[in-house]
């Protein structure tokens, strides 16, 4: 199955972000991708964290959900909608939700980011808990290819990457990591964490990132990539908008897990 990690540099205009996402999704579909993963906050990166509350949608109703459904159906593409803000029962907090749509445009999965990012090095300061409510449910879905293969796909978002126990719980063939890593933390840890998650779970990793200088002054690391179950980087895009394409292969997955049966050797 050919997969695509979509990299963006999202801004403050919802319409402009959706237009750019559609352009990149079309590029992925035209290249033969069957599964495309958009980055975290693909639809909006406001001037301040609280701005996302203004766009929070209710399940099954909203501009971004309609966009994802229509794009998946029209392009005949499985689409993982990075993340979008979803309303909660608390108007001061939204869920950071990753929504999955199949080729019929049906929503088949939703994962709410469990681990909320907090960072302060004296120059940069972030605390997602100010406006986001954490999820609590590890989430996977089954993705059936055009050839009839079935892939178990585990969902995660950005800061989740630092918590290996989540990925063990997912027990998936493919791990998704839509992200908006800061330039500072991404430069230090992004690649090594992604490769570690691939190696220890003997799974493919599709990491779609924000990558560049944003209108709101934030700088994200980018380096979207696809990694194989041996930890090898198959394809990567460093900075700016782009589409990372790679073919994931079930025989390669089986071979890695057979020659080094680490998953069978677990004791804890």
Residue numbers annotated as active site = 40, 113, 158
Residues 6+ apart with CB under 8 A from 259: none
Q: Distance between CA 98 and CA 154 in Å, rounded? A: 11
Residues 6+ apart with CB under 8 A from 129: 116, 118
Name the burial class of residue 115, with classes exposed (0-12), middle (13-18) and buried (19+) by CB atoms within 10 angstroms of its CB.
middle
Residue by residue, pLDDT tens for the chain (268 residues) are: 999 999 999 999 999 999 999 999 999 999 999 999 999 999 999 999 999 999 999 999 999 999 999 999 999 999 999 999 999 999 999 999 999 999 999 999 999 999 999 999 989 888 999 999 999 999 999 999 999 999 999 999 999 999 999 999 999 999 999 999 999 999 999 999 999 999 999 999 999 999 999 999 999 999 999 999 999 999 999 999 999 999 999 999 999 999 999 999 999 8
Helix/strand/coil for 28: helix
Residues 6+ apart with CB under 8 A from 62: 84
C-alpha dist (Å) from residue 157 to 93, 121, 163, 209, 251? 18, 22, 11, 10, 27
Q: Distance between CA 248 and CA 2 in Å, rounded? A: 6
Q: Per DSSP, what are the bridge partners of residue 144?
A: 150
pTM, two decimals, is 0.98
Helix/strand/coil for 122: coil
Q: Distance between CA 92 and CA 197 in Å, rounded? A: 33
Which of 147, 137, 24, 155 lies closest to 100, judged by CA? 155
- What phi and psi values does residue 12 have, to the nearest 5 degrees? -95, -5
* CATH hierarchy code of domain 2-265: 3.60.110.10
Q: Distance between CA 34 and CA 161 in Å, rounded? A: 24
């Amino acid at each position: 199955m050919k997969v695509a990690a979509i990299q963006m540099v999202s801004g403050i205009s919802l319409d402009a972000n959706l237009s750019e996402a559609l352009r990149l999704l079309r590029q992925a579909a035209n290249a033969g991708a069957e599964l495309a993963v958009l980055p975290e906050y693909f639809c909006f990166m406001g001037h301040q964290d609280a701005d996302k509350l203004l766009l929070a949608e209710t399940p099954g109703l909203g501009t971004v959900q309609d966009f994802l459904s229509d794009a998946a159906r029209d392009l005949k593409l499985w689409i993982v909608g990075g993340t979008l803000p979803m309303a909660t029962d608390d108007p001061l907090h939204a869920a950071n939700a990753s929504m999955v749509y199949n080729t019929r445009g049906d929503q088949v999965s939703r994962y709410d980011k469990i681990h909320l990012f907090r960072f302060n090095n004296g120059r940069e300061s972030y605390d997602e808990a100010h406006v986001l409510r954490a999820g609590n449910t590890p989430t996977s879905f089954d993705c059936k290819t055009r050839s009839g293969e079935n892939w178990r796909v585990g969902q995660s978002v950005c800061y989740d990457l630092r918590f290996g126990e989540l990925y063990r719980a997912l027990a998936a063939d493919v791990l998704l990591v839509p992200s908006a890593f800061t330039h500072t933390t991404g430069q230090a840890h992004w690649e090594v964490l992604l490769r570690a998650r691939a190696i220890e779970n003997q799974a493919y990793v599709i990491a779609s990132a924000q990558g560049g200088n944003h209108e709101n002054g934030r700088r994200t690391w980018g380096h979207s990539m696809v990694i194989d179950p041996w930890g090898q980087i198959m394809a990567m895009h460093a900075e700016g908008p782009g589409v990372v394409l790679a073919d994931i292969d079930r025989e390669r997955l089986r071979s890695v897990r057979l020659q080094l049966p680490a998953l069978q050797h677990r004791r804890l």
